[in-house]
Amino acid sequence: MYNTQSNPRQCGTNHRGYNAHRAAKFARKRAKMEAWMQAKAAGRQHFMNKMSAPAVNVKEEDDRYELHLLAAGFTKDAFDISLSENILTISGKAQETEDNNANSWRRQEFTAQNFERKFELNDKINTDEIAADYNNGVLVVTMKKKEGEERVRQSISVS
């Protein structure tokens, strides 16, 4: 559509021929789209928080393996560690307290959530000597290696 009038202000366009009405309509649509995307992102974040499990670092020493599980906000009694058919299961049950009531918080970005992690153990682990310690929000599960199991060091050439 062409501007047939000589004065751009009379037809509702600026000096570049851009319609102010169209710009306002576009701005409203853009605002609605951004609000929708933020709501979707918040919902996805909420879903991810509910389903996420604590991060785990695995450390190997000469005589043992260690699982370091980041689980802040739990008590020692909240953990359940079990072993069945070479599957080590670590779970945590978050305790409900008065502070966890979502209505009393003005903004709440974190809360302890129930979780469960499973690890398949190899035959090098002495399953009779598994111990756990919880300190400063980190659960450390120590699994001793069987006697006589030495780690073989290999040299691999780069081609």
Tens-digit pLDDT profile for residues 40-87? 666 555 444 454 688 999 999 989 999 999 998 888 999 999 999 989
d(CA 133, CA 83): 16
Q: How confident is the model at residue 153 (pLDDT cuts 50, 70, 90)?
A: low
Q: Is the domain 53-96+112-145 a CATH 3.40.50.150 member? A: no
Helical (H) or strand (E) element with 132: strand 125-135
Segments making up each domain of the chain, as ranges: 1-51, 53-96+112-145
Q: b vs e for 33-63, b when ≥16 Cβ sit within 10 Å of the residue's Cβ?
A: eeeeeeeeeeeeeeeeeeeebbeeeeeeeee
pLDDT at 148 over 80: no
Q: What is the DSSP letter of 13?
A: B
What is the sign, positive or negative, of the torsion defined by CA atoms of 82, 84, 89, 92? negative
Give the Cα separation of 132 and 141 in Å (integer): 4
What gap in Å lies between CA 139 and CA 36, rounded to an integer? 39
In whole angstroms, how far apart are CA 139 and each of 15, 85, 120?
67, 22, 18
Higher-confidence residue of 103 and 73: namely 73
Q: Report residue 123's pLDDT band, with 50, 70 and 90 as the boundaries.
A: confident
Question: 62 versus 108: which is more confidently predicted?
Answer: 62
Separation CA 9–CA 106 (nearest Å): 49
- Cα–chain-centroid distance for residue 35? 24
Of 135 and 103, the structure prediction assigns the larger pLDDT to: 135
Q: Is the pTM of this model over 0.85?
A: no
